């Protein structure tokens, strides 16, 4: 698209001394429409920036642009609705005289399979990206009674439509709003519902509870009846935990073999003099650092064995569909034991090296310091991940 035409569409300039929109559009009809790299026509650009006057003039010259889609499969109507440009939407719809064409245009879907009506509601209230829902579901999730009333004026039957979770808009309205009693009163006030509509629904039960202070005369009590869906979700979560546990058990096994091997082949070796009363004993047995090595090595081995045993219990317990809480507790407990085991392995390494290099104090201190850096790095990694997760949540 020529920069002159693009700037005119962006600023709403129909014509001046050096530019006339009609001339450009007439040439486009003969030679093909000018589009941006994203496939937007002059009508798309004008709709994006809310220039209703240019949209109206452009449609008088080239009405075929109305149904033209860009590379994202968006029409000018969808873009205008998504940006909340109400006047542009009115202009676009007013230019359609044929009822079938108007219905076809309003039902055209763009990205995420959304119609212009979806886009208009989402522009004011952001819905879920993962769940399929209609426009009235999105308005209900935000508790927007005025929007609900407008939608029901045009489509009274849309209240019974179900979303991807098999819920109608009433379920969504009550589920996603904190002040449920006020919401129900507001919905009743617009004349669309009566209190008996809230007595029994698919996943929610509303019990009578006279309340003189609030004047609502009832309260709402949540009741879960769809057990199969909950069981399936729990089973999926258990399976994901067990997949992670498979990696952990390999790590725990490797950690266990390290202190086991170090315990069999002690640093410094054994007394081999047949005339010595200490034959077969560890040569470094009298050193304090060697004592620390043996103790920390035993701790690392014990914690690793316990972690592996917990993973064994997890595998046995996970067969029960109701075991999600137990599996999660065991998983957390095994993780703690593995972390303690890794810490003990680092200490055992440092003490063992110090015991064997004690005659060269400088080298011994250097090696121990380098080995103990891993403990500091543990905490740095945890702090980094915590900060990263905090930034994501914000």
Q: Please report the pLDDT score of residue 193 as a whole number.
A: 55
Asked if 14 and 86 sit in the same domain, the reply is yes
Does 383 reside within a domain?
Answer: yes
Same domain? 5 vs 24: yes
Can you state the angle between helices 3-11 and 21-31, rounded to 10 degrees? 130
Q: How far is CA 90 from the centre of its chain?
A: 36
CA end-to-end span of the chain: 39
Q: Which residues of 216-243 are buried (b: 16+ CB within 10 A; e: fewer)?
A: bebebeeeeeeeeeeeeebeeebeebee
CA–CA dist 15, 24 (Å, integer):
10
Are the beta carbons of 6 and 21 closer than 8 angstroms? Answer: no
Asked if 82 and 123 touch (Cβ cutoff 8 Å), the reply is: yes
% residues pLDDT > 90 (the chain): 3
69 and 22 share one domain: yes
Q: Does any domain span residue 156?
A: no
Domain boundary among 174, 195, 225: 225
Find the mean pLDDT for residues 322-351. Answer: 87
Task: Tell me: do 13 and 118 sit in the same domain.
Answer: yes
Detail the DSSP E strand segments found in 187-245: 204-208, 218-222
pLDDT at 219: 39
Q: Which residue has the higher pLDDT, 150 or 111?
A: 150
221 and 233 together in one domain: no
Stated pTM of the model:
0.42
Same domain, 218 and 233: no
* Domain final position from 202, 225, 248: 225
- Mean pLDDT, range 249-269, rounded to an integer: 81
Spatial contact of 267 and 290, defined as CB atoms under 8 Å apart:
yes
106 and 2 in a common domain: yes
132-144 burial by CB neighbour count: b if 16+ within 10 A, else e? ebbbbbbbbbbbb
- Same domain, yes or no: 254 and 376: yes
Across residues 128-145, what is the average pLDDT? Answer: 60
Whether residue 290 contacts residue 379, with contact meaning beta carbons closer than 8 Å, is answered with no
Whether residue 238 is found in the same domain as residue 108: no
Count of domains forming the chain: 3
How far, in Å, CA of 220 to CA of 195, rounded?
11
pLDDT at 374: 84
> Are 1 and 58 contained in the same domain?
yes
Q: Distance between CA atoms of 173 and 386, rounded to whole angstroms?
A: 34
- Spatial CB neighbours of 40, under 8 Å, sequence gap ≥ 6: 1, 48, 70
What number is the average pLDDT over the span 47-75? 78
Report yes or no on 51 lying in a domain: yes
Give CA–CA dist 155/135, Å, rounded.
11
pLDDT of residue 388: 83
**Is 130 contained in some domain?**
no
Domain that holds residue 284: 228-393
Token pair recorded at residue 189: 């006030």
**Which helix (H) or strand (E) covers residue 57, if one does?**
helix 52-61
pLDDT at residue 25 greater than cutoff 80: no
pLDDT in tens, 170-193: 666 666 554 556 666 666 665 555
> Same domain, yes or no, for 76 and 205?
no
pLDDT band at 160 (very low <50, low <70, confident <90, very high): low
Q: Both 252 and 370 in a single domain?
A: yes
Of residues 226 and 66, the one with the higher pLDDT is: 66
- Residue where one domain finishes, among candidates 96, 124, 152: 124
Task: For residue 151, tell me if it sits in a domain.
Answer: no
Instruction: Confirm whether 50 is domain-assigned.
Output: yes
Q: Is the pLDDT of residue 127 over 80?
A: no
| Residue 114, domain CATH | 1.25.40.20
DSSP state of 159: G
């Amino acid at each position: 698209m020529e920069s002159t035409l693009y700037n005119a569409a962006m600023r709403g300039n129909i014509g001046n001394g050096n530019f006339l929109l009609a001339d450009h559009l007439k040439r486009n009809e003969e030679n093909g429409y000018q589009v941006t790299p994203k496939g937007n026509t002059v009508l798309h650009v004008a709709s994006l920036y809310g220039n209703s006057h240019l949209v109206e003039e452009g449609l008088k010259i080239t009405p075929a642009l109305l149904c033209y889609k860009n590379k994202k499969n968006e029409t000018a109507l969808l873009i205008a609705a998504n940006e909340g440009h109400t006047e542009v939407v009115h202009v676009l719809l007013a230019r359609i005289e044929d009822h079938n064409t108007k219905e076809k245009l309003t039902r055209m879907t763009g990205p995420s399979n959304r119609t212009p009506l979806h886009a208009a509601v989402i522009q004011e209230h952001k819905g879920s990206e993962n769940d399929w829902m209609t426009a009235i579901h999105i308005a209900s999730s935000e508790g927007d009674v005025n929007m609900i009333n407008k939608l029901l004026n045009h489509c009274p039957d849309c209240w019974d439509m179900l979303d991807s979770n098999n819920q109608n808009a009433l379920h969504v309205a009550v589920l996603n709003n904190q002040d449920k009693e006020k919401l129900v009163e507001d919905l009743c006030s617009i004349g669309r519902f009566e209190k008996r509509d809230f007595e029994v629904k698919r996943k929610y039960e509303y019990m009578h509870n006279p309340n003189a202070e609030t004047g609502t005369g009832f309260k709402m009590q949540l009741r879960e009846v769809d057990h199969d869906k909950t069981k399936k979700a729990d089973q999926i979560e258990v399976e994901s935990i067990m997949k992670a546990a498979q990696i952990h058990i390999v790590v725990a096994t490797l950690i266990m073999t390290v202190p086991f091997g170090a315990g069999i082949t002690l640093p410094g070796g054994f007394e081999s003099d047949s005339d010595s009363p200490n034959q077969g004993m560890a040569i470094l047995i009298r050193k304090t650092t060697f004592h620390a090595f043996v103790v920390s090595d035993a701790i690392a081995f014990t914690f690793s064995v316990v972690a592996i045993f917990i993973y064994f219990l997890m595998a046995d317990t996970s067969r029960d569909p109701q075991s999600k809480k137990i599996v999660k507790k065991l998983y957390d407990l095994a993780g703690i034991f593995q972390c303690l085991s890794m810490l003990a392995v680092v200490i055992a390494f440092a003490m063992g090296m110090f015991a064997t290099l004690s005659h060269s104090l400088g080298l011994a201190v250097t090696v121990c310091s380098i080995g103990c850096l891993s403990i500091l790095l543990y905490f740095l990694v945890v702090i980094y991940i915590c900060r990263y997760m905090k930034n994501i949540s914000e």
